[in-house]
Amino acid sequence: MDNSEIIQALKDCNAVQFGDFTLSSGQKSNFYIDIKKASTDPKTLKIIADYIARFLPSVTETPADKIIIGGVELGGVPIATAVSLSTQYPLLIIRKATKEYGTKSRYVGELDTNKEIILMEDVTTSGGSVKKAIEALLEDGAVIRKVITIVDRESGAAESLKELGVELIPLVSSSELVE
């Protein structure tokens, strides 16, 4: 599918910035992709969610009634929520750690091990944060085959997730954004 509308929306909301940045992976970069600007802008978030909703049937053979949309806190949550609203698929939020109070759960929503979780991520670099969430989900019996990321910085995330048997599907590569 043509991703030019997403690229333009990311540029229009000033999600792409240039300068000297240290990424969450620890890597240095001369550009930063502030997807939080996109996920807090209703117009851009709707463009992304609607694109993913149209795109999903082409990336999974799983029947619609067997899909859960997952989002890892913090960046994946608004994207996953918007996609859940657009598709009407159930939503599962994955915390970075199990909470120590209340239900002591790592998840918000129902983890149904009979359904496939398709994770949403905002930006992937090395894939470290989403990989930790996938490992926790797999330990709990979840089925995960795909991670859809808005932007892949093309710095090893696809290879890292492949080690877990999970395919990274970027909507946009960083090279497309900075050309």
Binding-site residues for 5-phospho-alpha-D-ribose 1-diphosphate = 95-96, 99, 121-129
Which pair of structure tokens corresponds to residue 55? 């795109």
Binding site per annotation, positions:
95-96, 99, 121-129, 153
Task: Write out the binding residues for orotate.
Answer: 125, 153
Which residues partner with 92 through β-bridges? 70
